[in-house]
Amino acid sequence: MNQYYPEALVQKSQEAKIRAYCPYSKFRVGAAVLTSNGTVFTGCNVENASYPLGLCAERTAISKAVSEGYTSFKAIAIASDLEDRFISPCGACRQFMREFGSQWDVYLSKSDGSYKLMTVEELLPFSFGPDDLGARENTVGNSKL
């Protein structure tokens, strides 16, 4: 996906939603994150009987990317079964996305594939991030920035 097509990213998030493990809420969510070099990682929500241990789709997709050495992102698309409004990331996911920058695109979608474009900054204004701690770029490992 070297050429950046928002519709294709939204479609991948919808496909990821199908694999959601949500026996308790029955609320399926999928996400597809686009790295700076064009690689796409998908994720879905994974619930747990111990509710706080569940994982959101956004954090699953980003964690998959990071575990493969990718920490620079262009965009993320989020999908659910909502028909009447755009799915929006929870506060924890907004902060999790912010860890990797504030100026990347977030596509909030509806079940019909329509979407609304925002940035991480718009979703989490006046955010706290690595720069506030004086964090430096990860120079250990084989990071594919």
Provide the annotated binding site.
45-51, 56, 90, 93
Q: What is the mean pLDDT of residues 111-116?
A: 97
Q: What is the pLDDT of residues 36-76, one digit of tens each?
A: 999 999 999 999 999 999 999 999 999 999 999 999 999 99
Provide the annotated binding site for Zn(2+).
56, 90, 93
Domains parsed from the chain with CATH numbers:
6-133 (3.40.140.10)
pLDDT at 1 over 50: no
Identified catalytic residue from 7, 15, 58, 137: 58
User: What pLDDT sits at residue 134?
Assistant: 84
CB 97 within 8 A of CB 107: no
pTM: 0.90
Q: With pLDDT > 90 as the criterion, what percentage of the chain qualifies?
A: 89
15 as an active site residue: the answer is no
Beta bridge partners of 32: 42, 77
Q: What is the mean pLDDT of residues 25-33?
A: 98
pLDDT at 140 over 60: no
Q: What is the pLDDT of residues 77-109, one digit of tens each?
A: 999 999 999 999 999 999 999 999 999 999 999
* Structure tokens, 50: 């111990």
